[in-house]
Structure 1
Amino acid sequence: MQTQIQSPVISDLKPNWPHVTWFLGLAFGLSWLVDLVLYLNGGLSNPATMLMLQFQMLLPAFSAMLLGAFFFKESPIYYRTHRSASRWFVYYYFLLTFLYLLGAIVSLAQPDRTTTISSLLLIPSVLGLVLLIVLRLVGGKDTFASAGMAGGKARIWALYGLGLVAYYGFQTLLNYLLGLGKVVDLAAAFPQMAAANLPAGALLPIMALNTVVIGPFLGLIIAFGEEYGWRGYLQPELIKLGRVRGVLLLGVIWGAWHWPVIWMGYNFPGQPVLGSLAMVGLGVLLAYFFAHSVFKSQGVWTAAYLHALNNQALSFFFMAVVTPYDNLLSFGAGFPGLALGAVVVLLLLRDPVWKITE
């Protein structure tokens, strides 16, 4: 017998539209300004591109934290009332964003130093993870949960993470079987690894370990930059419209946030219009998947981990295993992949968790 989840309906519960507008204005304004600077400095051909994109990923959380800490008095991280140990992570995040800003500026001025700067910036990112663990131990279970930054349940991290890897692995297989991509020659594509005199059969497992297992944790703080903004702040506001409707709107917003780099040729080279539509579609599908994981785990860090894993898995499967001939017309981020993702989302939407009113 199926148990129906019941919860009180609060008819006057609506998003705080003035605050949402301030957040979106700041997040889009800062992020698109970074894109404009990149465009004016050669676009995606600039050696500093990846560093600039990482800096851009920090800005949604920076915007939410800046407004929440100093302007939105009812925010759980407002500086006058936020006294848990997690406040030190907020301040550290401001410092991290500033360090990435300096790194981006220096890289644009001296492109030959970009690799060194990117490597150096890994240090504060890793220190951020250490700080998280220390503050969690010092402050206790609720120190981050009370600030809207709960870690979530480990089993959800593992279950959804394995599902995500299997999902992209299956799409990679479809690209191969349907002739939509070519098998990558790892020795030719990654000569730096071949130069290490590793056995040919060891290249793929080592890359999988680095990108799919280790990579998501190294990129966790960067992914949190998007997730605290989108899933940590904006999602709780928009789902006051209803979970399904709110997450749909969030997905459209999130996809549109990526448009400037799509117009520059990122993900879908030479397809600015269809690429923009595909990016919105991908944003909507991932928004439902990440939201479902957050609802199940009760933690925004779950979405940060899955976001980092998603980026790493896409990179691994579609750059190191089978490379699509056309990103727009293949499985992965293309329209066939979106169709498959829509089936997954429709299955997720059958879960009663979407009916809960908050």
Structure 2
Amino acid sequence: MSQINISTKKPNWPHVVSFLGLTFGLTWLVDLVLYLNGGLKNPATMLLLQFQMLLPAFSAMFLGVFFFKESRLYHRTNQSISRWFVYFYFLLTFFYLIGAIAALTQPDKAANLSSLLLIPSVFGLVLLIVLRIVGGKDTFSSIGMAGGKARIWLFYGLGLIAYYGLQTFLNYFFKMGQVVDITTAFPQMADANLPAAALLPIMALNTIIIGPFLGLIIAFGEEYGWRGYLQTELIHIGRIRGIFLLGVIWGIWHWPIIWMGYNFPGQPVLGSLAMVALGIIFAYFFAYSVLKSQGVWTAAYLHALNNQTLSFFFMAVVAPYNVLFSFGAGLPGLALGLVVVLILLRDPVWKTAE
């Protein structure tokens, strides 16, 4: 019988509370501003949601650089070249703040502002690569921002695509969704004068292959906060228990936009509970990818891929009739996700002491 190793180190609870207070405070303030300006109907919605995805990383970095003296990011001790990426992330968050304010005051320019903000995001990717080349292998691993193993990116990414492909088929098979007429749903693509048979593959290439890399810096905002910082603290109470707690916290963090109708329109109560369940399931999946690859950027890539793949399959292939009662983010999808988690929990990696 294998023995589960128990960590003798405990989470730094004052630091954890500070991180959660800052992250929730900033995020829910953004959500309140969105609610007071028309909610999800406001054209600035997507830009504000992208902005709030940056806030967990911003909070962890801000506290780590200026207040947590034990942090590997602390400004008096971290003199590695990696610190320039951290400072860039502060600047990126500021750019998105300005963009969000501008979009709220000039809603007709929201789409253009969102596109414009792709420029600093792409610059962030370039900066990341340059710093890694100049600084060497340990440039980011020394501060808890390792890239992870390429094969994990590939195989787990393919697994995630297959996971949503299966759920799309199940929605179709059990008549929980309707096949999408892509020329009607996306008339802008039909206007490109391309053969109808080519539209879906082109959209798949754009959303599943290219999209995750364009969204990588934004997804890192959540993943460094939740996986890079908070997971590192909470797994000291045990990996399985710590990740469960993280999943609950992560799900609750989304509640204000769920109450406004995001993901589960018209279901504020059941939608909130479903979001917590979804948070727990994906907390285990993303945690598993980080533990196996030893890199938080793996989770950032999978997070970006998850968002893009979910959108592609359920908006361009088979659209669910009722999100809450269909495969994907709904109850049947949660049941399938639970099965995946139970399989992942059989891996010995969960028994390792911190």
Q: Same fold (TM over 0.5)?
A: yes
Measure the CA separation in 2 of the matches of 1:42 and 1:115.
17
Provide the residue aligned with 1:58 in structure 2: 54
Q: CA deviation at 1:353?
A: 0.2
1:27 aligned onto 2:23: yes
Gapped regions of structure 1 (runs ≥ 5): none
Conserved? CA contact 2:234–2:242, under 8 Å? yes
Provide the residue aligned with 1:147 in structure 2: 143
1:204 aligned onto 2:200: yes
Out of 39, 44, 47, the residue aligned to residue 48 of structure 1 is 44
Within-5 A mapping of 1:1-358: 9-11=6-8, 13-358=9-354
Structure 2 residue matching 1:332: 3-state secondary structure: coil
Conserved? CA contact 2:7–2:238, under 8 Å? no
Measure the CA separation in 2 of the matches of 1:238 and 1:260.
24
Measure the CA separation in 2 of the matches of 1:285 and 1:46.
30
Q: CA deviation at 1:6?
A: 8.1
Q: CA deviation at 1:84?
A: 1.1
The verdict on how the C-alpha distance between 1:209 and 1:5 changes in structure 2, with shifts beyond 3 A counting, is farther
Measure the CA separation in 2 of the matches of 1:237 and 1:326.
37
Measure the CA separation in 1 of the matches of 2:351 and 2:25.
34
Q: CA deviation at 1:115?
A: 1.2
Conserved? CA contact 1:5–1:352, under 8 Å? no
Measure the CA separation in 2 of the matches of 1:161 and 1:187.
28
Structure 2 residue matching 1:212: 3-state secondary structure: helix
Conserved? CA contact 1:318–1:324, under 8 Å? yes
Write the letter of the residue equivalent to 1:184: V
Conserved? CA contact 1:294–1:300, under 8 Å? yes
TM-score for the superposition, normalised by structure 1: 0.98
Gapped regions of structure 2 (runs ≥ 5): none
Number of equivalences: 354
Structure 2 residue matching 1:354: 3-state secondary structure: helix
Q: Which deviates more from structure 2 when the two are superposed, residues 110-119 or residues 100-109?
A: 110-119
Write the letter of the residue equivalent to 2:16: V
TM-score for the superposition, normalised by structure 2: 0.99
Structure 1 residue matching 2:346: 3-state secondary structure: coil
Measure the CA separation in 1 of the matches of 2:239 and 2:4.
14
